[in-house]
A = this chain, B = another copy of it.
C-alpha cells in the first residue's frame, strides 16, 4: 500500500464522484509524511509552505470530506481543537489508542495491549448493543495524565 497511495487516493475520489485536486493531494501528502496528530491549522501551515494560495476554509472542508470517506480519523482530546491522523489502513502506524498529557498536551500512541483491548471492546460492544439496543459504530479509549517530562517525581 505504501507509496502507491497517490493513485489510490485518486481512485477513492473518482469512485465517489469527487475530483482529485491540488489541495486534497497536498493535505494527504502532509498527513502521510508525519507521525503526529495534526490540527486543521497545523495542516494549513504545512500545506501553505509549498502551496501558499491554500485557504483555511478548504482545509476544514476537505478534512470533513476525508473523515466521511474514512481516509482519515478525527480526534477530540479536549484541547479546544480537533486533531487528525491517517486511518489505520493507510498509516504506517498500526491500530492504536492514545495517552494524552494534561500538561504539555502531547499525544502518545500505543499499540501494546491491543489484542487484549480489542477483545475486551468486542465483548463489551456486543453486550451493550444487545442490552441497550444501541448500534455501536466506534469506540473511544484515552488515558489522561502526565508524560515522562511533565510529571513531578
Binding site for B on A (CB under 8 A): 76, 78, 99, 101-102, 108, 110, 112-113, 116-117, 120, 123-125, 127-129, 131-148, 151
Contacts and interface: CB of A to CB of B under 8 A. Distances in A.
B148 A131 contact: no
Contacts of A112: 127-128, 131
A75 to B, nearest CB: 9
| Number of identical monomers bound together in the oligomeric complex | 2
For the residues of A in contact with B, the DSSP-based class is mixed
Contacts of A148: 132-134
B144 A141 contact: no
B136 A145 contact: yes
Contacts of A144: 136-140
Contact of A143 (B108, B113, B116, B138): B138
B113 A99 contact: no
The 9 closest A-B pairs by CB, nearest first: A136-B145, A137-B145, A135-B146, A133-B148, A140-B142, A138-B144, A135-B151, A135-B145, A136-B143
Contacts of A101: 134
Nearest to A149: B133
